[in-house]
Structure 1
Amino acid sequence: MKIGIFTDSYLPYTSGVVKSIEVFTRELTDMGHDVYIFAPSYPKCAKENRVFRFASLPAPTNPGYTLAIPFSIRLKPVIRNLKLDIIHVHSPFLLGRLGAKYAKRLGIPLVFTFHTLYDQYVHYVPLGQEITREITRRLCRDFCNGCDMVITPTGIIAKHLEELGVNARVETIPTGIEVEKFINSNPGWLRQKYNIDREKKILLFVGRLGVEKNIHFLLEAFKEIHHRSADSCLVLVGGGPEEEKLKKQAKVSGLTEKIIFTGKMPWQDVVNCYVGADIFVFASVTETQGLVIGEAKAAGLPVVAVKAFGVSEMVEDGKDGFLTGEDRDEFVEKIALLLKDRLLREKMSLKARENAWHISSRGTAKKLADCYRSLLEWKKSASG
């Protein structure tokens, strides 16, 4: 199959959406399919085979992110020459809408992956947030209903779309985890890199440092955790608009020496952080899946996470981690229990590794390819 991917974010920008596109593209290509990506350009962006870049502008509220100008005189002949079988969009905006237009023009199936609870991100809009939230919900519903298939990473998000009024065909396919990449990584790298004593227990967060990730809650919880367990430290892997505010919060709490901000890292270093930590902690309440939780489990980390949306399906409560309410005391208690009970940590670590294999990248890519084929067969029979 020849698959056209239209996305409003792509490398070198890092996010769960970008990671999902990377993983599925790699697996589909290995399976013999041809994947072509249509994405924004970024400063000093290297040329890549099968990646078409659009001229872009810097996003005013998100450093490092660019907004594609969804027009190019080169696009029409490129699309015509590729003879795509299917178009898969990863946003209901800008390039997602452009991809939808070309799918309709070419008469080929249109697939949309609903990666993001867009209405939960209106804090980036300076005015009229409630009106923006409602408009965003309607826009997402209408865009979904114009697609031949909508992919959701978790069942709870599929239910959420149904409640919004989406009546298009919906399939649940999580972004897969490249489990093999966590097997031969370096568990001593993290402690050596940041001079962390062997006796210290490392709590790890990986993700974008944005308001929606609820990291201020995480730091408040760690203040209490460290009061109980002085041999603990918190490592935050990633960058984002809240980084300076979070550093100030750490300083005010007297925890500057106990909280490590790594900034953005190459992927292999991130993997080394996973395998070198003891517990993964996650407080976001806006996830459609929580891909980093699957990655943490592949590294054998027990997870303590706030139970909200997609996260609730990524942790087997009491087996490979704990799910809590958005209650600081409850969150702290579960982390404290894992810090204290080594046998429980080891038991959950084994279960986490085992469960990560259930969403391996090869398995989820095969399911996606099957969905593509079913759409192509349906389109063929409908036109015949």
Structure 2
Amino acid sequence: MHIAYITPEYPHPKINNGGGMGTSIKNLVEALVKKSHKVTVFVYGMDRNEVFIDHNIHFHLIAHKNYTIGGFYLYRKHIECYINSNVQNIDILEAPDWTGITAFMKLSKPLIIRFHGSDTYFCHIENRKQKLKNKWFEKLGVKNAKAFIAPTNFAGEKSMELFNLPNEKLKIIHYGLELEKFQNGQPEVYERHRILNIGTLIRKKGVFELIEVFNKLIEKELESTLIFIGADSRDIQTGSNSTWELMQKTMSQKAKERIIYLGKIPYEEVQEQIKKAHVCVFPSFAETLGMVTIESMALNKAVVNTNIGWAQDLIDHGVDGFMHHPEDIDAYVATINELFENEELVHAIGQAGRQKTELKFDIHNIVNQNIEYYKSICS
């Protein structure tokens, strides 16, 4: 097959714009190419136009354009025109739900929307008021899709409900990892009492709750260390330009001395930070899956995760990880403290977590599920 992806991000040196969505697309794209399928990636919102081939993947960078009026419509029509003029040999197109980028588009090939996480979905999960413009764009964006894919049952069913779409058009296919690239030969070697959190510093990731957890934990274990990795962001609730600055104001004096913020680091360095961690903690309020959770599990780490919706597809509580509601501060403290004191438990949970990723998130199996579904839509 020849599959094309429409995306605002993709981890690549020439693009320099990649988050969890881009990483999941990249994992799938590389697996498709290894199975001799052709792949084209249209990356919009770039600072230039460029076409290039890398590792048999055809990239089209589409520059952002400014318009005096109606840019939200005209730029989408510009993308539509560009894609339609470059899809002669393409079988199927896939686009994300985010921002409703396919609103107003009439694409000449079948379109699948993958629910990476729309503004509609996140506003609902976080109980935030959504801008009517964003809701309108996203509703129009999914309107002409032939089918939908979601990474977890919760994200898929909730998105279909919010957009009033029939569930028979939905397929659940997890994100996948190339597990050969996630190897931890010495899972018993780590820095004791080191807690790691990875993700953009933003309220929906539960970063303020994690500070509360650490404020209590440091009173029990003075050698505890909390590491944050990820870009800082503006805080919607207060209007502050820095969530990190707000987080510091909620830290106890003891906690502040043992919290380290590394900022956004290169993707290839993240694995080493995961391997150093005693426990990885992700008390998020809003995800569709949470790539860092399964990446940590793949590296034999004990994970203490959120228990909201999507997490049920990732973890069996007490078997291959732990799940608590982000607001249950004492539960997080108790579980992390137990892991600090019980090395056998850390090893057992980490080993079971790795086995879970091999069973459910191996990209070599995931890619076949995607191919079969693409073919069914094209037939």
Q: Does 1:28 align with 2:32?
A: yes
Q: CA deviation at 1:347?
A: 1.0
Give the SS at the match of 2:315. coil
Spell out the pairing of 1:100-139 with structure 2 (5 A cutoff). 101-102=106-107, 106=108, 108-119=109-120, 121=122, 130=129, 132=131
Q: 2:142 aligns with which of 131, 141, 144?
A: 144
Residue of structure 1 in register with 2:93 after alignment: 87
Distance 1:234 1:286 in 2: 21
- The separation in 2 between residues aligned to 1:176 and 1:239, in whole angstroms, is 23
Shift in alpha-carbon separation, 1:336–1:51, aligned structure 2, 3 A? same
Q: Could you list the runs of 5+ residues in structure 2 that have no partner in the other structure?
A: 67-72, 235-240
Check conservation: 1:278, 1:302, Cα contact below 8 A.
yes
Give the Cα–Cα distance (whole angstroms) in 2 for the partners of residues 17 and 286 of structure 1: 14
Percent same amino acid at aligned positions? 22
1-structure distance, mates of 2:319, 2:83: 52
- The alpha-carbon distance between structure 1 residues 160 and 95, as it changes in their structure 2 partners (threshold 3 A), is closer
Partners of 1:273 and 1:97 lie apart in 2 by 40
Q: Is the 8 A contact 2:230 2:264 kept in 1?
A: yes
One-letter amino acid of the structure 2 residue matched with residue 55 of structure 1: A
* Residue in structure 2 matching 1:154, options 120, 141, 152: 152
Shift of 1:161: 3.0
The CA deviation string for residues 175-229 of structure 1, in whole angstroms up to 9 with x for no partner, is 102221121679899x8xxxxxx5x321111111222212111111111111111
State the 1:47 CA deviation. 6.2
Match of 1:19 among 10, 19, 23: 23
User: Equivalent residue of 1:371, what SS?
Assistant: helix
Deviates more, 1:210-219 or 1:235-244: 235-244
Relative distance call for 1:48 and 1:240 in structure 2 (3 A) is: farther
Q: Report the equivalent of 2:70.
A: none
Cα RMSD, aligned residues only: 3.1
After superposition, the Cα gap between the structure-2 partners of 1:318 and 1:208, relative to the gap in structure 1 and judged at 3 Å, is: same
| Contact 2:182 2:298 (C-alpha < 8 Å) held by counterparts | yes
Q: For residue 230 of structure 2, what is the aligned residue in structure 1?
A: 238
Distance 2:285 2:80 in 1: 41
- Kept in 2, the 8 Å contact 1:7–1:96? The answer is no
TM-score by length of 2: 0.82
Cα 1:280–1:18, aligned 2, differ >3 Å: closer, same or farther?
Answer: same
> Where in structure 1 are there 5+ consecutive unaligned residues?
59-66, 124-128, 192-197, 378-384
Say if 1:25 and 1:260 are closer, same or farther in 2 by CA, change over 3 A.
same
- Give the equivalent residue in structure 1 for 2:8: 8
**What per-residue deviation string (whole Å, max 9, x for no partner) do you get for residues 134-169 of structure 1?**
775565455435311100001122221343321161
Following the alignment from structure 2 to structure 1, what is the Cα–Cα distance between the partners of residues 372 and 186? 36
TM-score, with structure 1 as normaliser: 0.81
> Which amino acid is the alignment partner of residue 280 of structure 2?
F
For 1:17 and 1:236, how far apart are their aligned partners in 2? 20
Relative distance call for 1:187 and 1:303 in structure 2 (3 A) is closer
SS of equivalent to 2:294: helix
| 1:3/1:84 contact within 8 Å kept | yes
The change in CA–CA distance for 1:330 and 1:218 in structure 2 (over 3 A counts) is: same
CA 1:186–1:250: 2 relative to 1, 3 Å:
farther
Report how far residue 287 of structure 1 moved. 0.6
Structure 2 counterpart of 1:381: none
Deviation at 1:312, TM superposition (A): 2.6
Separation of aligned partners in 1, 2:41 and 2:177? 21
Larger displacement relative to structure 2 (160-169 or 26-35): 160-169
Query: Does the 8 Å contact 2:213/2:332 carry over to 1?
Result: yes
- Residues 73/170 of structure 1: CA separation in 2 closer, same or farther (3 Å cut): closer
| Deviation of the 1:8 alpha carbon | 2.7
Count residues in correspondence. 349
Q: Which residue of 2 aligns with 1:75?
A: 82
Deviation at 1:355, TM superposition (A): 0.7
Query: Contact conserved, 1:185 with 1:271, CA < 8 A, in 2?
Result: no
The equivalent residue for 1:365 is 367
Contact in 2 for aligned 1:5/1:38 (Cα 8 Å) = yes
Q: Which amino acid aligns with 2:371?
A: A
Per-residue CA deviations over 1:9-67 (Å, capped at 9, x if unaligned) read: 33422211111111111111111111111112545898642211222279xxxxxxxx9
User: Bigger shift: 238-247 or 8-17?
Assistant: 238-247
* Structure-2 residue corresponding to 1:295: 295
Cα deviation for residue 93 of structure 1 reads: 3.5
Q: 1:77 to 1:356 in 2, by over 3 A?
A: closer
Q: Distance in 1 between matches of 2:45 and 2:38?
A: 21
Within 2, Cα distance between the matches of 1:9 and 1:269?
A: 19
Deviations 1:94-146 (A, max 9, x none): 64337x521xxx2x3211100114236559xxxxx6252x7755654554353
Of the three residues 98, 103, 118, the one matched with 1:97 is 103
